[in-house]
Chain A
Amino acid sequence: MDVTIRVKRQDPDAEGERRLPYWQEYPVTIADNATVLDALIQIREDDDGTLSLRCSCRSAICGSCAMRINGHAGLACKTIANTVVQDGVITVEPAGVMPVVKDLVVNFDLFWEKIEAVDPFLKHMGREPEGEYIVSNDAMLHLSGVTACIMCGACVSDCTVLEVDPTFLGPAALAKAYRFTADPRDGDSDGVSMERLWALSEPTGVWDCTRCNECVQACPKGVAPMDRIMAIREQAIQQGYTNNNGARHTDAFTDSVGHSGRLDELRLPIKSVGGFTNMPALMDYMPVAFRALRRGKVPPIAHKNVENVEAVRRLFRQLEPNPPEPQVSNNSPFG
């Protein structure tokens, strides 16, 4: 197969133009079943020894070759070239979010700092078990979905929040955190990781995720980091860490739909920021509300119930258990 590999190159340490990103095209002839990594290695070996990239296992195990292929992160060794070629071209860029070292090699410091920030080791709080710690097979099977992570950074590369805010813990670290919050050996004797759930409910934690699904799409191992973030949110709410805008938003949203069938868009933002007691936050919305009002763009003041709302309310009563008691303070793990 004849294909042109269009590579975004950069050498930040170089003098002159090459310091800034530029595109270079490499026409190559590759086997029909060649991967994008095969093509890149061929270019490096035969055409241009200055092209830098990371790779090792070539089998989607080591996680070295994550990069953006046609705009989306993935492993070059797991991507068959002929499945992504568009009009004879495959576009390859370094992973996003992390700074470029050279060409397709990025600096992973940010990735590892975030993994370290979630204390990636078991923290048992209760009494030590006498003898070995027996964990159910189901619990470990469930965790194997997360431990499948190969730390390739594809999720971090495409995270829409990290793109605008490098303080966010991000998908890889939060999925790693779930590996512990869902481990029966972590936390107290019931396996509840109170301290972690408190910390993860703080700003830069689980509630800063936009639920955009980029990480789910990018992950080559099916870890689905965003789904793990949602699971941590659920765990945190269950433990009463509800004194934050994210938990309040989820609660008010569910409540609105559970009682009326639809979303009450006028009251939702008020409840999310903590009600009328949080005047600064509400005042912040005033200019937006004014502009909307002037344009005749207002949700109905009186929120109507859907037809046969009783059926919806019955489902809500059956399926949504009573909310847990809120923790007294948001600033202490134990109230």
Chain B
Amino acid sequence: MKYAFFPGCVSQGGAPELYPAAHMVCQRLGIELEEIPGWTCTGAGVIQEKNQLFGDTLNARNFAKAERMGLPILTICSTCQGVMSQANHRMRDPEYLAEINSYLAEEGLEYSGQSEPKHMLWILIEDYGLDRLGGYITRQLTDLKIAPFYGCYIVRPTEALDIADHPERQQSLEMLIQTLGATLVDFEGKTRCCGFPILTINQKNSMAMVGKHTSEVKDLGADAMVTPCPLCHLNLDGFQPKAASQARRSIDLPILHMPQLIGLAMGMSPSELGMKKHIISTGPLEVKAGLRR
């Protein structure tokens, strides 16, 4: 299995532990990743609010490059997934696609409109198979209670994400957690917003969201939360101490990137998965999983 890899900016920026963790896990699973040369940011929905055409053209450029590689696209970011899917959805309008292609022509690129970018989470379920993934599990995580946190853009809007054709996508993270042998802690907030998009605009509200979700999960007795979105990770992990002080309570809930949880179940060590870089210590979780004393 080989994919055109779209890492997204944050996996190499604010959450630098994600990129190598995803690579290691994919390599062990026999999923070959070839990075799209010169890929650009998807616009994260931010460029689109100011200039949709520019944002969508950047996505079409990435898609055209992947088509030239002859490979389907794999991403490791929920936000990138959503923005790519939404851009793709709009480009189903042939006139809009033709307009975008007219701008790409100068670089000698053309997008067919046929690409179907997929998050690694979806690929593991739809292309790879959870049974096959189960065959790589060497470490019992039964003692770990894990709550899912999706990130808005991988669950909404459902039309652009083809949820009607793939209803399992709405349960994908729970399915993965259970496949990995961890104990699922379900909670209502799993598809809500982490608050990251308004971090620099209305920090108080952003922190209220972080505080609400992490404390709710903590109070349900979870050991950690797992997310397929590095932007959610930035807010839920990086800003959790600030959110806790705003909420006037202690929270200390470790947040794992999706590939890190998979890596743990496959026998990799927390340090090689970059968990030392997290702001909220994963120490207690490692002790509970029997990874250290």
Please list the residues of chain A having a beta carbon within 8 angstroms of any beta carbon in chain B: 71, 160-161, 163-165, 168, 203, 207-214, 216-217, 230, 233-234, 237, 244-246, 249-251, 253-254, 257-258, 261-263, 265-266, 268-269, 272-273, 284, 287-288, 291-292, 295-300, 306-309, 311-312, 314-316, 318-320
CB pair B212 A211 closer than 8 Å: no
Chain B neighbourhood of A217, CB < 8 A:
156-158
CB pair B200 A245 closer than 8 Å: yes
Partner of B197, one of A211, A257, A261, A312: A211
Cβ contacts B261-293/A at 8 Å (1 or 0 each): 000000000000000111100000000000000
CB interface residues, B 55-99, toward A, < 8 Å: 57-58, 61, 82
Q: Nearest CB to that of B276 among chain A residues?
A: A295
A268 to B10, CA, bound (A): 12
Q: Nearest CB to that of A266 among chain B residues?
A: B13
Chain A neighbourhood of B201, CB < 8 A:
207-208, 244-246, 249, 272
* B contacts with A, residue count (CB < 8 A): 60
Query: Contacts A212-B156, A214-B156, A217-B158: A160 and B209 contacting too (C-beta < 8 A)?
Result: yes
Enumerate 17 A-B pairs (CB-CB under 8 Å) in ascending A order: A160-B209, A161-B205, A164-B212, A207-B201, A208-B201, A210-B193, A233-B50, A246-B201, A249-B201, A257-B58, A263-B44, A265-B9, A291-B279, A297-B14, A297-B17, A297-B278, A319-B103
CB pair B13 A299 closer than 8 Å: yes
How many whole Å from B30's CB to the nearest CB in chain A? 28
A104 to B58, CA, bound (A): 45
A211 to B152, CA, bound (A): 9
How many whole Å from B260's CB to the nearest CB in chain A? 14
How many whole Å from A82's CB to the nearest CB in chain B? 14
A328 to B272, CA, bound (A): 52
Partner of A319, one of B12, B57, B156, B204: B57
How many whole Å from A124's CB to the nearest CB in chain B? 28
A292 to B106, CA, bound (A): 41
CB pair B58 A254 closer than 8 Å: no
CB pair B9 A213 closer than 8 Å: no
Q: Nearest CB to that of B46 among chain A residues?
A: A253
Chain A neighbourhood of B9, CB < 8 A:
262-263, 265
Given contacts A164-B212, A165-B208, 19 further A-B contacts (CB under 8 A): A161-B205, A165-B204, A207-B202, A210-B152, A210-B193, A210-B195, A211-B45, A212-B152, A212-B192, A212-B197, A249-B46, A254-B47, A261-B41, A265-B13, A272-B201, A287-B241, A291-B241, A316-B54, A319-B51
Q: Nearest CB to that of A269 among chain B residues?
A: B200
How many whole Å from B268's CB to the nearest CB in chain A? 19
A257 to B55, CA, bound (A): 10
A253 to B43, CA, bound (A): 8
- The interface-forming segment of B32-40, B133-141, B177-185 is B32-40
CB pair B41 A203 closer than 8 Å: no
Query: Contacts A212-B193, A265-B10, A307-B38: A251 and B156 contacting too (C-beta < 8 A)?
Result: no
CB pair B58 A315 closer than 8 Å: yes
Query: Contacts A210-B197, A296-B277: A253 and B44 contacting too (C-beta < 8 A)?
Result: yes
Query: Which of B17, B38, B44, B57 has the most chain A CB atoms inside 10 A of its CB?
Result: B38
B218 at the interface (CB under 8 A from A): no
CB pair A292 B279 closer than 8 Å: yes
A251 to B106, CA, bound (A): 25
Q: Nearest CB to that of B51 among chain A residues?
A: A320
Q: Nearest CB to that of B40 among chain A residues?
A: A261
CB interface residues, B 84-127, toward A, < 8 Å: 103, 106-107
Chain B neighbourhood of A213, CB < 8 A:
82, 152-153, 156-157
Chain B neighbourhood of A296, CB < 8 A:
276-277
Chain A neighbourhood of B20, CB < 8 A:
none
Partner of B50, one of A212, A251, A262: A251
Chain B neighbourhood of A268, CB < 8 A:
200
